[in-house]
Chain A
Amino acid sequence: MNQLRHFLEDCYRNNSAGIAIQSGTENLSYLELNQRRQALEGLIGAVALEARSPIGLLLPKSPNAIAAILACLKLDLPYVPIDFDAPFSRSKYIFEDASCNFLITTKERAAEIYQLLTINKEPLEHPDLDFAIVDLRLQSRPRAENRIGPDVCYILYTSGSTGKPKGVLITATNAICFVEWAGAHFNIDATLTLASIAPFHFDLSIFDLFVSLKAGATIALFTAKEVKNPLLLAHYLAEWKVNVIYATPSLLQLLLRYGKLDRYGFSVLRQVLFAGEVFPVSALRLLSLQWPQVSFYNLYGPTETNVVTYFSVPRPILEQRGYPYPIGQLCPYAKAQLRTGDQTYPLEVNMEGELLIAGDSVAAGYLGLPELEGKRFLQLDGAIWYATGDLVRVDKNRDIVYVGRIDRMVKRRGYRIEMAEIENCMSNYEGVTAFGAVPVEQDGQLKIIGCYESNFAIPELDLKQYFVDYLPLYMQPDRFLHLKEIPLTSSQKVDFQALKNIAIKHV
């Protein structure tokens, strides 16, 4: 059986004395992690085994949350990690959409939920550990039943362009092909410490959790609060002797700008992997100067396929380089082709099109959304291809280059304009720490608003002059908007929806 639970099982036996989790509150050996998992299994087993409905995990980022994930895997129950800090309405949308029968949460939160849902019963609590189980079947509302395939291990909710989160069904095969490749490719072994910065509802955490556990390495666990304070993050990264970091460029840039990295020693840090968005080269260059011994890797892949390409950033990074690095080569388990209109093409030098991905890492689909699933997961030549919505090009070295989102592309005066191209240009302007370009309709006309984050407002004329030197006229932003802070999503990426709403108010 090629299941994730069997895949991870050896880790407890082989490394029982080794530290599995290091955190600000407690450290757990593999033996202790295994015991905590078993303690929770008893509690879940009492209620949940009857029906294979997904279990919602509404827990703060903590050793307990990892124990809960492992318990669900062991009991063969698909789990849904839910953002503990999100508003209750969003959590509720997710656990209802996933037809969860049970939630695992903290005792305090369980009591709150019973009150909010007006359930007149006591949640089931663990006698010692801060775990409680919310029985959602006690709700009076009628519940939809979603059918979930027997091989689904977990469901990750991502925000959709429609504004409603959608559940991506991840199977054991999906997870294992990535975890095996990443462990081998980045030489992860039991002597290493890997940072866990991303929240567990975000797919970057699959690397932090499963690659570490599989190798018997140590997970350096950062809470949401610690991640928000770059000073504290930098302090712990150094103190816990972290060897490998996997994070978004937005987060790494905050660390570079506010983390006071000079105060600490990072001599054991050896790899920094980044994914989720484009890393502006000027900031990446500064980080590479700060950490000269570190290898940097650009990884790419939406939640629906996990990582499918990788690129090792060559050193040194030249000051005059303006364009971001490629997303690189396909992972061994992934196949790709390009689509323009109804036609598909193999990847060849200089070709451009929407990236389609097939292979073992492609998710089993969306939970309860057959129509959307049919549009994004395509049946072609006897295989399932996920249409990423990302426009890519193949460069002369046969590396794949990310061009932009198809849905962030607009047409003006007959020209196709990709917002990311404007952003790449802006990211090199001195003093600008983040940037987002958004198209806004005004009196039937399309206006492009360039929103920038900086300590000071830059004279509009200076910006216009700068853009005239780098972009054709039809691509010029019409207005610039100075912001103290570019809004980020809970997964630390630029929140374009929020940015657009801010821009609309200012037009």
Chain B
Amino acid sequence: MEPVEHFIRKNFLADPDGDLSNSTPLLSSGIIDSISALELVEFLEQNYQIEFKPHEVDRENLNTIDLIGEFIERKRTQ
């Protein structure tokens, strides 16, 4: 999940070297807002060859880097 972490640091953190772990809440903390979530989705679709269904753009799949990793795994084994 390193590329995802890098993408989030570079694009959404005020300080790219700030605190961010695999379990840091992203949406509920406000690090990622509704528009940033869509940018993240675009990044994930392009880099992991997956396609989000509209209702999958949701907190339960995107709120932490761990959840994002699990979601990508699920999509790939589907």
Contacts and interface: CB of A to CB of B under 8 A. Distances in A.
A348 B22 CA distance: 64
B74 interface: no
Nearest to B37: A229
A257 to B, nearest CB: 8
B5 interface: no
A439 interface: no
B12 to A, nearest CB: 8
A231 B33 contact: no
A109 interface: no
Name the prevailing secondary structure of the A interface residues.
Answer: helix
Given A234-B54, A235-B54, A229 B34 contact: yes
A229 B33 contact: no
Contact of B54 (A231, A455, A485): A231
Interface residues of B, number: 14
A175 B27 CA distance: 40
Interface string B28-54: 000001111011011000000000101
Contacts of A235: 54
Contacts of B54: 229, 231-232, 234-236
Task: Indicate the member of B11, B35, B52 with the most A CB atoms within 10 Å.
Answer: B35
B57 A231 contact: yes
A485 B33 contact: yes
A485 B36 contact: yes
A260 to B, nearest CB: 9
Task: Indicate the member of B34, B36, B41 with the most A CB atoms within 10 Å.
Answer: B34
Nearest to B11: A484
Contact of B35 (A232, A236, A485): A485
Contacts of B34: 228-229
Interface string B45-69: 0000000101101000000000000
Contacts of B36: 484-485
Contacts of B38: 229-231, 258
Nearest to B36: A484
Contacts of A229: 34, 38, 54, 57
A254 interface: yes
A234 B55 CA distance: 11
A148 to B, nearest CB: 37
A234 B39 CA distance: 16
Given A229-B57, A236-B54, A484-B35, 8 more contacts: A228-B34, A231-B54, A231-B57, A258-B38, A455-B39, A484-B11, A484-B36, A485-B35
8 contacts: A228-B34, A231-B52, A232-B57, A236-B54, A258-B35, A258-B38, A485-B33, A485-B35
